[in-house]
Amino acid sequence: MKRDLSLMLRANRKANIPVIVGSAGTAGADVHVDRVLEIGREIVAEHHLTLRAAEIYAKQDKAYLRKLLHQNRILPLDPAPPISHNVFDSSSSRIVGMMGVAPLQETISEGLISFWWGDAVTRRCLPRFR
């Protein structure tokens, strides 16, 4: 991963285009965002670059998700099975939410050049929020 990030960060300086690291290069949990950003900072130091980065986290609070489910604001996408509170109870300690492009568009408009974010619009068959 470090080699690929190094190539991307150095190339983005020459091309003057954003570097976008979706799903934080791994599973997209907050801890992964932090780790990949740490690797990016190592690369920047090694190559005497500067880094203007935005971290966009996607971790979801289980209590909040239960509340949304109770309000019928979380629905399965067809053909996924119904969702119950047990889904949140049996999930790992980290639930990562899917997000659209709005956070990315906002950071681009701020002129940041590198983006390290959790899960984006890359997953299928997940619940949708109303």
Q: Tokens at residue 61, please? A: 């609070």
For residue 91, pLDDT beyond 60: yes
Q: Considering the domain boundaries, does residue 127 fall inside one?
A: no
Q: Note the pLDDT of residue 47.
A: 94
Q: Tokens at residue 2, please? A: 């470090």
Per the structure, the complete domain to which residue 46 belongs is given by 1-59+98-120
Express as a percent the part of the chain with pLDDT over 70: 83
Q: Considering the domain boundaries, does residue 72 fall inside one?
A: yes
Residues 37 and 90 in one domain: no
Residues 52 and 14 in one domain: yes
For residue 123, pLDDT beyond 50: no
How far is CA 2 from each of CA 41, 71, 84, 93, 116, rounded to the nearest angstrom?
Answer: 11, 43, 39, 27, 14
